[in-house]
Amino acid sequence: MIKIVIFILLLILAAVGMFAIENIDSIFIKIPFYGTYEISKVAFLILSSTIGAFFVLIIVFIRDSKRAIENLKLSKKQKKDEKVRQYFIKASNASLAQRTEVAKDNLNEILKIEPENIDAMLKLGDLAFENKDYNMSLDYYRRAYDLNRSNLYCLLSLAELYEKIGQYDDALRYLDEILSFDPENLMALYKKRSIFEKKHSWDILLSIQESIIRLQKKPDRKETENLIATGYAYENALAMFNKGEYEKAIKAFRGIQRMYSTFIPAYIGLADSLFKLGELQAAGNVLENAYAELGNLLLLIKNEDLYINTAETSRIIKAYKNGLLKNPDDYRLKFLLGRAYLRLNKYSESLAILESLDSIISNPEFHIFKAKLYLEQNRNSEALQEITKATVLDNFKLIYLCLKCGNNSNEWSGRCGRCNDWNTYSVNISGIVKS
């Protein structure tokens, strides 16, 4: 490299020498405010080159100095980043080991190095949230939010925190911020759905659910979300029913039937609405026709409850007998028919039905029940009726079983209270008839 530099210098000197031989004349240079000077052409060339080289040297010096400063800053930043990374590793390991205080100490060390480190603030907020220190958690989340108002994790964390402490309007405000710049954010939509469920705002939920369904790509997920939409439509119709808006409820329940023909709660809701309007025959027709099509025993049980205190109790027996004509070996229908006779104080008919179930009855109290019915046939009938109602009928209550999660309930509902799915309850003659 040195040889090349020397060679180039020699070439330059040779060129200057040749120039001096050929240009022995002088030239005049006028410098403003200082007069005119005579100088040889060679001297002028050398002077010009020296001045040019000096300015080039200054430019190179500035460039190299800038690079040196940038390298120094980069080196410091790399060291700082490495230190921050090590603190994050220690904090993560401590958090996994449930050593919360150690994790917090390491995260606070990060904030000493980088006071505006959003990740450290969010992690400290998470730790405070896990320890149910919601005020501290809110403080960290808000500090992070003030530094970056479009941080998705920060916005979701704030929404979750406000939902947790019951400040739903604040939670919805942050979720709406997310949806303002990311309208297809499913996480925000799911959280918004959760809040409006707690507020029982079923009409708003239907709109949210439409957006969720539209964004689903997989057919199985789309089907699941459609079922949820049906559930919200049912809850909306039920809310109308509870407010006494029976005409609106009827229209809504019929809409659900058209959308999802096997949704049993819609038929029951429709029958209840018709019954409230005094249309008992129409209510019974809805339930009996639905049973003929779907074969779900809940429909006949509801039909029994509708007619049990009316002058048309014979329709209860007729519905069960029609069911047995199609399914003569269905022990559940037989049991329900015997139970209906008992509720109607027709003890002989009840006994005749229940005697045929001897081989599949598992509850020992059933035999006490039979003994009391036999007693009713022979003597002391009034006493027997009271004993039967007090000690037997109460022991033979129907149990409703959720087919999704296995939850048992003494009362039927359109939605399971444990798994929150709709249309999952089935009658379970628990402890009476062997399955």
Q: Where are the alpha helices (DSSP H) in 199-343?
A: 202-215, 219-242, 246-259, 264-276, 280-294, 297-307, 314-326, 331-343
User: Using one digit for the tens of pLDDT, what is the confidence trace for 118-171?
Assistant: 999 999 999 999 999 999 999 999 999 999 999 999 999 999 999 999 999 999
User: Using one digit for the tens of pLDDT, what is the confidence trace for 343-376?
Assistant: 888 878 887 887 777 666 555 455 555 555 655 5
Measured CA to CA, the distance from residue 194 to residue 171 in angstroms comes to 11
Percent of the chain with pLDDT over 90: 57
**Predicted pLDDT at 345:** 84
Helix axis angle for 202-215 and 219-242, nearest 10°, is 170
> Please, which pLDDT band fits residue 396 given cuts at 50, 70 and 90?
low
* More confident of the two residues 206 and 79: 206
Contact indicator for 399, 359 with CB cutoff of 8 Å? no
> Please, which pLDDT band fits residue 408 given cuts at 50, 70 and 90?
confident
**Predicted pLDDT at 400:** 87
The distance in angstroms from the start CA to the end CA of the chain is 97
User: Using one digit for the tens of pLDDT, what is the confidence trace for 94-105?
Assistant: 999 999 999 999
Predicted structure pTM score: 0.75
* More confident of the two residues 51 and 271: 271
Contact indicator for 233, 257 with CB cutoff of 8 Å? no
Contact indicator for 302, 273 with CB cutoff of 8 Å? no
Measured CA to CA, the distance from residue 313 to residue 319 in angstroms comes to 10
User: Using one digit for the tens of pLDDT, what is the confidence trace for 275-308?
Assistant: 999 999 999 999 999 999 999 999 999 999 999 9
> CB within 8 A of 417, min separation 6: which ones?
407, 409
Count of CB atoms situated within 10 Å of the CB of 196: 21
Has residue 389 got a pLDDT over 50?
A: no
Q: Which two tokens stand for residue 114?
A: 């980088």
Measured CA to CA, the distance from residue 271 to residue 280 in angstroms comes to 8
Contact indicator for 114, 120 with CB cutoff of 8 Å? yes
